[in-house]
Amino acid sequence: MAGLSDAPFIEALAVPAVCALIAFLSYFSQYIFFHDPDLLPGPPSRAETLVFNGLLLCLWISYFRAVTVDPGRYVFEDRVLEVTADDDGGSGRWCKKCQAPKPPRAHHCRHCRRCIPKMDHHCPWTSNCVSMTTFPHFLRFLAYANVSLWTLGYLLWQRFLALWETRHMPSHLGPSLFGLVGLSATALTWSVTSLLLGLMLFGTLKGWVLNRTSIEELEYDRHEAHFRSGARDWWDLTGPDGEKLKFEHVEFPYDVGFFANMAQAMGTSNVLLWFFPLAGNPRLSKTAPGPGWTWEENGFNRKEGMWPPINPEKLRLSKRELGVSRRNYEAELQDYGLSAEEQVEAFRRRQEEDFRRRNRNLMAELEEVDDDVYQQRRSDDDEGSLFGWTHADGDSLGDYGVDEDAEEQDEDVPLAELLRRRKGNGLYVDE
């Protein structure tokens, strides 16, 4: 259901529709319970009424905050952004839409039109991104929604059980037709809503404990699938230096222990505040490094900043389509400041070296290409996600609200940006 955000009418109707659904299940059901005295076992008790409406109050507060809290905005003024790649910053993530660096775990949302810190997905039912700042409210909303549904389910079960036990009585002694129709409509709506929200709560709790967003879950599944396929020949890709890029398994680095994961996501280690509807949420630091700009890693990889892992299929297909290797950032930096004649000579020298490398690898490249498979992959990509990967249920990055066109430019860092980073000794400094 992640892709529902793309429907043009969903964004305008989503929040009113959710409010109407909550009101129907919450208050129409109580109207049925109290309106028909013949609907056994009668109106809910005072304690049941207080508990149910208390849960509804928490539900409304949590939903309001999930809708209205800002998902986060990176402001690049008087800031310093640490680069987790090489000293030249050549592998740093860059968003071509924002024209700014993209911090770890951030993605460009095509609905919010900006990079979102620790973006999980753009939720159509809140018309907001589930992110570093909104995740606690989204989790509380799902938790209170499910507990409220379970409470309503108990009240419905009491009344259906009473109907079954009195099934042999004359119908005119039982509840009214309006009461029976209203009870049946409520039960049908309850069953569908409970199933869907239960699945959503399960997935959200799993990501909460593992400290893994929906987008990172997709990246994790893709990487593990590549790993299980083994070190095949198509993993051997030629880098800008002519050397082969080898497959390397990358552990998910942000799982720092289940309690630390949960406390980090909720913005506090006080368990009592995790499900308090008026509790706060993590705050994005105004400057880097800080919360939302850098993230603690577990140290299982040989260095930090290795996530997300390289997508070899994306590199291979882009290389075949464009016919060029990845940019040689080091050469660009070396050429900067040279005279026009010196730059032309340096370019010709690199061109000759590239020609020799391509000749060496030409036969190997041709042997690796399966034209039928390649054309099928390109056909699939043209219809959907560019160089994409989907879950078994068919969800891709685009279904989570990610601007995939911006994602494809993660490594296309402008030369001026590289110079600023080098001047700052590996730090990005806004001058």
| Active site (catalytic) residues | 123
Angle at the Cα of 311 (from 257 to 92), degrees rounded to 5? 75
> How distant, in Å, are the alpha carbons of 112, 194, 287, 340, 407 from that of 74?
13, 36, 9, 38, 17
CA–CA distance, 325 with 241 (Å, rounded to integer): 9
Angle at the Cα of 151 (from 145 to 154), degrees rounded to 5? 140
The answer to whether the beta carbons of residues 388 and 397 sit under 8 Å apart is yes
Nearest to 111 by CA among 201, 186, 3, 184: 3
Q: What is the enclosing helix (H) or strand (E) of 122?
A: strand 121-123
The DSSP line for 229-297 is: T-S-GGG-EE-TTSPEEPP-----TT---HHHHHHHHHT-S-HHHHT-TT-------SSSSSBTTB---
> How distant, in Å, are the alpha carbons of 30, 198, 263, 287 from that of 188?
16, 15, 37, 50
Helix and strand totals (H; E) in the chain: 14, 10
The answer to whether the peptide bond before residue 44 is cis (omega within 30 degrees of 0) is no
